[in-house]
Structure 1
Amino acid sequence: MLLTFAIAALALGLVKAEAWGWSSGRVLGSLAAAVILAAVFWLRSARHPVPIVELPLLRIPAFASATLAALLFTVAFAAMLLTSVLWCQQVWGYSAIRTGLAIAPGPLVVPVLAVASGPVVRRLGAGRTAAAGCLLFAGGLAWWALALDTAPHYAAAFLPGMLVTGVGVGFALPTLVGAAAAALPPGRFATGSAVTTMARQTGAVLGVAVMVALIGEPRTAEAALTAFRHGWLTAAAAGALAVAAALALPRPAPTAAAPAKAPA
């Protein structure tokens, strides 16, 4: 409950920053409350005999790295989903149905890549596979920041970024979730999976809140373009941080070659 209130206070401060003012007492109070509540939650988790979040799980290097990477990646992922819809509807004037069709190619790529990522993980390891996916995702967002304009150019500007982010999701997200689960002791699988899920949900809240704070309510098309570009570059930075966290995953030990049979 404390963590929920902490995340809610942080999101409130970010979402209302433009309306209330970054230096207003309500925004600063919301951000301070988020920090205090998160600190109290951490202390209670460290001292409680049966905590909701078992902090010793975060001492498992592979689990901690995968969970942190999943959180950062979900920040970028939630930002991408929100901004792609807002861009199509508010800037390009697409209808809801046309917007859905415009963003559909990205999600359609994900299941195919999620299945195809298995052999890549076995060959390169989870860390490098997930890092490649996070890098591709960040690259798709950076492409939007460079290529999109207020004039609708779907096939040449929007679609390539959507496809690249879809490829990134297919490589990154299933790999990170699987790596986090694989690092857990058998008796802590359920609890650890809940921690990873909580981290992803926290990342989604932060991603949406940060985008709302950055985009705001621009009054002109040029102001909207600038705001969205700032949002995409910020989300791409979160994806780049996820790359670093994913690369911290331990590499799989090399498989020893089978000894040659002695001649009969």
Structure 2
Amino acid sequence: MPRIPRTAGRPHYNVTFAVLLLGVGAYSLLQSMVVPVLATLMEHLHTTQETVTWLMTAYLLSASVATPILGRIGDRAGKERMLLVTLVALTAGSALAGVSNSIGWMIVARVIQGLGGGVLPLAFGIIRDEFPIAKVRGAVGVTAALTAVGGGLGLILAGPIVDHLDYHWLFWLPMIMTAVATVATFLFVPESPVRTPGKISWGAAALLSIWLVALLLAVSEGPTWGWGSARILGLFAAAVVVAVLWVLVELRSQAPLIDMRMMRIPAVWTANLVALLFGVVMYTAMTFLPQLVQTPAKLAGYGFTASITQSGVYMLPMTIGMFVLGVLTGPLAARYGSKLVLIAGGLITMVPFLVLSLGHDHSWQIYLASSLMGVGMGLAFSSMSSIVVEAVPAEQTGVASGMNANIRTIGGAIGSGVAASILANGVTAAHPFPPDSGYTDTFWFLTGSALLAAAAAVLIPAVRGAGADRSTGTPGPDRKATADKESAPA
């Protein structure tokens, strides 16, 4: 099929939207699909528990570096161009993982897949460029919700894929999705009409990469290496020192990679604080709730002895809830405001962990908590992303949303590290399962984190509509064929 000429008119924004959702969905699946099958991969790849966890750590580190940097390059060099690069990396990484039979090559493949983190900020930027202003909030909300839904769906699909195919198909299926998305992007996603002039500050990019890797490596490996070990303390110290140096370089730069003045916008820094706390909640829950239900009751004295597939069924209400509420968030935010929706999401998210803190011995408690998590997280993730997009100029959408997504990842790493340390207390060679009280303490920790997220959301100031200039309140950059798109059906 020949590529649609750019001069023949821009594709309808709904076509562009469908392509973006395909790429974001594939990236989201890859985030979580490995989590419930780490034990299976450890057996097939003939490796150790400590080594197999690098399949998550490597992906996390790569995505943390790639997400803000690719978002910024897209703002300057063209979002469509960088989206193609990102999707090609996702496809290549998935293909390599699909043919890998050794842990070394699998880790390399996960590093390449992590470059797919750039899909999120690039998608948000393209939506802001291409959609009618009235449609931006809803489209951003659905896209943000899909990142969470895809994570939940990955937990559900992992079991049936491994049971009926084999572990290679955990990567073959996303590879097919990203390959189709790559071709569709080339055909149907228009070139960026909004760009930021100037060169990329590669020195700032290097400093950003160093402190992010140091921080995330420390919080990821803290439970294994020991929080008080010289390696962990050294990594934390390096992260602080390099982060300060990075900020100083960005403040003095004529063309900063990430504009510190943008990061100080009240709506941006408060939304990022909320993102950090929600990252703690969501990623920790998605990691350790399946672990709880898979625990053999006869050996541990608690748990549900669920298979990988059965543990996915427990997470199904959460996935459905995140999708439904993610779709509804746009209309709700238009009526009540994104801030109020975000606060409601935080308060609702607190309830399921309170339920699990008080008791997690019966299946109905898990299903109830899973359902409430879907409602709360669906509201929160969609509205949070909308707030960031609405708060910054159009030319900074990619980097702002990239940093917000990155901060969620950091929160997830922190939450998972803290939870792993809590659960490690009481584990011995004779009793390799965490004590039940460890899960109770973990759920109290997540209850407090969700409450803090709702409290932080109260601090978010009101922001102007998408596309408005912060200083003047005037409409943002003119979008080609906006009038035609405003009148077109959604």
Residue equivalent to 1:135: 347
Give runs of aligned pairs for residues 204-215 of structure 1, distance below 5 A.
204-215=412-423
- Partners of 2:422 and 2:254 lie apart in 1 by 41
Residue equivalent to 2:389: 181
Give runs of aligned pairs for residues 113-262 of structure 1, distance below 5 A.
113-149=325-361, 153-155=362-364, 157-216=365-424, 218-219=427-428, 220=431, 223-251=434-462
Residues 154 and 237 of structure 1: CA distance in aligned 2, closer, same or farther (over 3 Å) = same
Measured after TM superposition, the shift of residue 115 of structure 1 is 2.1
Name the % identity. 27
Residues 8 and 229 of structure 1: CA distance in aligned 2, closer, same or farther (over 3 Å) = farther
Moved more, 114-123 or 214-223: 214-223
Q: Is the 1:75–1:205 Cα contact (8 Å) retained in structure 2? A: yes
Q: Deviations over 1:205-244 (max 9, x none)?
A: 2222222222227345995312122222222222222112
Residue equivalent to 1:8: 213
- Partners of 1:112 and 1:30 lie apart in 2 by 41
- Partners of 2:433 and 2:251 lie apart in 1 by 49
- For the pair 1:43 / 2:252, whether they are aligned, the reply is no
Tell me which of the two structures has the higher relative contact order, counting C-alpha pairs closer than 8 angstroms and 6 or more residues apart. 1
Q: Is the 1:137–1:165 Cα contact (8 Å) retained in structure 2? A: yes
Q: Indicate which of 279, 283, 294 corresponds to 1:74.
A: 279
- Name the Cα RMSD after superposition: 2.3
Residue equivalent to 1:257: none
Q: Counterpart of 1:208 in 2: which secondary structure?
A: helix
TM-score, structure 2 as length reference: 0.47
Q: Deviations over 1:86-118 (max 9, x none)?
A: 111234321111111111111111111122223
- Partners of 2:332 and 2:305 lie apart in 1 by 40
Residue equivalent to 1:57: 262
Residue equivalent to 1:259: none
Q: Counterpart of 1:104 in 2: which secondary structure?
A: helix
Identify unmatched segments of 5+ residues in structure 1. 254-264
- Partners of 2:263 and 2:223 lie apart in 1 by 35
Moved more, 117-126 or 106-115: 117-126
- Partners of 1:192 and 1:55 lie apart in 2 by 11
TM-score, structure 1 as length reference: 0.84
Measured after TM superposition, the shift of residue 16 of structure 1 is 4.0
Q: How many residues align?
A: 249
- Partners of 1:58 and 1:134 lie apart in 2 by 22
Q: Is the 1:110–1:169 Cα contact (8 Å) retained in structure 2? A: yes
Q: Deviations over 1:103-141 (max 9, x none)?
A: 111111111112222333233321121011011112211
